[in-house]
Amino acid sequence: MQAKTLMIQGTASSVGKSVLVTALCRIFRQDGFSVAPFKAQNMALNSFITREGGEMGRAQVVQAEAAGIEPSVDMNPVLLKPEADARSQVIVHGKVIRTISAQRYYHLTRYLLKMVEDSLDRLRSTYDIVVIEGAGSPAEINLTKREIVNMRIAKMAHAPVLLVGDIDKGGVFASLVGTLDLLEEDERNYIKGFIINKFRGDISLLRPGLELLEKRTAKPVFGVVPYFRGIAIAQEDSVYLEQGIDSTPSSDLDIAIIHLPHISNYDDFDPLEEEGCRVHYVAHPSELGTPDFIILPGTKSTISDLTYLWRSGLAESILQQARNGTPVVGICGGYQMLGRSLHDPDGVESAEESVLGLGLLDVVTTFIPEKATTQVKARVVADRGLLEGMKGQELVGYEIHMGRTKCDGDTSAFNIFETPQGRVDYFDGTLNEKGKVLGTYMHGLFHNSVFRGTLLNSLRRDHGLAERHGSTVIEKAKHYDKLAELVRHSLDISTIYRIVEEGINE
């Protein structure tokens, strides 16, 4: 018997679709159902590597965690990773198939739909419920014949749809009514009702609007979800970085993360925000200040973003901070930027064959077509500066990169000793002689609690700050439970169950 389905679509990007799918996956799991998330096509720079070495969107990994299951590339069969020059890397079932322009991408529609259908069928044959997430808006009328993620998928899955609007942005009623109006009649029949998301204030003042919405559309409002804080759910889009991150009054260390144009895997740094640090994203030299710690994050377009650093003046600001003794850490693309030079003889990333790096590490990177995608276990092998006292400490993380970096001398930071495929033995990363500049290909570094706590306390000692002991990072499961409780009390869950059970009668 095939799984029941439910789809969450939205009036626009960033209205909260991913978070609501996460909540529903948790609720259904709490109620005893086996449930899986699904998003046919994801465009995101936050990605994850599965146990099998497949690459998928981070949002579906979060949703799988909330559902209590292992992430699978079938949950996100098509992943697009935007690059410079209006191109995107196309990843199908976890593996790169090509890098292509938007216009040429649509030539793949028939092939991609078959891949999507295969994945959806496998999930529906395994689980009780599949909760499907749309992308952007289903009312992008210029893309209707080409889209493979909204109404076409609802029809493929025979999935009833709940349409979400973000009231915090304003114009939510116009957005919901307008979206509905632009759909074809048969598509409107898939929309079973609305969810108002991110509401602040007195709900009694909203009720007249809800009543008029229901009267005008003849479709119910299933609930109003309040705007919330204090529930940490990894974000898919970088929009929230531009909105700023709140710091607690007890913040001590000032950590500057360089906001690259193609920044990726910024959820690497979520634990730092929960550990009493002031984390701020810097896009201009005037925003840098005098931080205690600088991080160069991952990027999908290393050479393009490195050029941006030089042109914006951020490169010189980072170099000056490093000369003044401020520690600098580069993750993946950020690691590559810290080296002497980067070479791309095959045009893997850019038309530029060679560019100068920041020169803070004595390494050289060459891009090659083969992409490294694997989960890893590692040990710290250096014992100075940022890594002092950590030698032998074990870490877990994952690699996603297309470059190979060679270093001069015995300056390696980590030894990779295991992947899901078995034992391995190779070095990763570089720590400079003074121990103040560290680069690594390992994503998830700061999710290792002992490593994170030791490093932060070392920085606190250097700045005469009191050490902190015992992690303040709340277990993911507790965040998922808090989210589920909030959404369960905000929505008419019993009616949603009825809609899931009834499905679509065509």
How far from 183 is each of 101, 171, 189, 447, CA to CA, in Å?
A: 27, 19, 10, 43
Cα–Cα dist 126/70, whole Å: 13
**Residue 332 among the catalytic residues:** yes
Q: Which tokens in the block code for residue 317?
A: 């600001």
Cα–Cα dist 120/109, whole Å: 16
How far from 467 is each of 252, 253, 276, 449, 476, CA to CA, in Å?
A: 10, 11, 11, 15, 24
Cβ atoms of 148 and 113 within 8 Å: the answer is: yes
DSSP bridge pairs for 53: none
Cβ atoms of 420 and 396 within 8 Å: the answer is: no
Strand order in the sheet with 41-43: 41-43, 78-82, 87-92, 95-101
Determine the Cα angle at 236 with ends 232 and 241, to 5°: 75
- Only one residue has tokens 């994945």, namely 119
Q: By C-alpha distance, which of 308, 325, 309 is closest to 317? A: 309
Q: Which tokens in the block code for residue 331?
A: 């993750």
**Residue 343 among the catalytic residues:** no
CB count within 10 Å of CB 77 equals 29
**Phi first, then psi: what are they for 296, rounded to 5°?**
-100, 110
Identify the three-state secondary structure at position 125: coil
How far from 469 is each of 13, 404, 454, CA to CA, in Å?
A: 39, 37, 9
DSSP for 236-256?
Answer: SSTHHHHT-----TT--SEEE
Q: Which helix (H) or strand (E) holds 502?
A: helix 493-502
Q: Is 186 exposed, middle or buried (0-12, 13-18, 19+ CB in 10 A)?
A: exposed
Which residue is catalytic, options 25, 262, 277, 332?
332
249, amino acid identity:
P
Which residue is catalytic, options 93, 262, 280, 443?
443
DSSP bridge pairs for 281: 257
Cα–Cα dist 340/353, whole Å: 14
Cα–Cα dist 59/235, whole Å: 7
Catalytic residues: 332, 443
